Amino acid sequence: MNGILPLWKEAGMTSHDCVFKVRKILRTKKVGHTGTLDPDVDGVLPLCIGRATKIAEYVTDAGKSYRADIVIGESTETEDASGELVEKTDVDEAISLSAILNVAESLTGEIEQIPPMYSAVKVNGKRLYEYARAGQVIERPSRKVSIHSIIIDDETLAWDEEKKTFSFSADIVCGKGTYIRTLAVMFGERLGYPAHMSRLTRTSSASFKKEHCLTLEELAQKLTEQSADDLLLPLEMGLSGLKMLVVSDKVASKVKHGAVLPVPSGWTGEEGEPVAVYHNNEALAIYQLHPTKSGLIKPVKVIFTG
């Protein structure tokens, strides 16, 4: 049983809960997820099964897209709706679409983010959420993240006269390591108000979208009608973001044994860049330029050894 199961994670579950349940449903221990989703977040969570666990990091590192609901006028300790209210500033009138679009444009590209205190980022050997739960706020190093696009749904713009808040939804495509709830806070800062993310859905991860996904209930139901292998997508879909090298039968045999090879014709990988090596439409391994020996490539990970 080898492949990728694009799961639609429902709100109220951790990513680890999903892995545990799928292990029981598929009756296999070799299951790994591809990037944690907070319990309140729903959406696309590709799970790697069997040999596909070897390429989980490449799915995790690929781009993702989200649908985020953002509330302007209130901030919370966790930067999302699960946290306690920490600041409230009345929004006395609707914020213009042009102002929001200007902020969206300013946040697109490579930006600096400071990870939230309630996050799994490690500082001095401890997770930030461990400090936060102990009532400590510590200095966090900023880091660069890539925001590829932010599209504002103008039909969702809403001013709540009673609560004195303003809200809208945004579709966001971003690179790895991005905190969407922190992006919501940054929206507020640039509009001059506290803000938080009230809801989040991951709409895609790597090449996997909602239409590829099954819920846990759907997975269990379909297994009464067909085999697990029929429900898994090829692990090669998880490598769609990598450059590709196709090799001959002779070279394929060496690749399966993890051999260091001369740089082949057709190699396009830059220094340190992973390249997926294929034979007969099957991914065999991930290679990169040898870091110390010029003119050679070396395996980063051997996927298929049969």
Residues involved in catalysis: 38
List the one residue out of 201, 204, 202, 200 whose CA is nearest residue 71: 200
The DSSP H or E segment spanning 209 is strand 208-209
| Whole-number Cα distances in Å, 87 to 1, 138, 158, 184 | 50, 19, 20, 14
Instruction: Decide: helix, strand or coil at residue 255.
Output: helix
Which positions ≥6 away from 9 have C-beta within 8 Å?
A: 15, 18, 37, 41, 42, 43, 44, 45, 202
What are phi and psi for residue 294, nearest 5 degrees? -60, 140
Q: What is the β-pairing status of strands 195-205 and 42-49?
A: parallel
Size (the chain), residues: 306
DSSP secondary structure letters along 55-101? GHHHHHHS-EEEEEEEEESEEETTSBTTSPEEEE----SPPPHHHHH
Q: How far apart are CA 154 and CA 152, in angstroms?
A: 6
List the one residue out of 120, 117, 158, 119 whose CA is nearest residue 139: 117
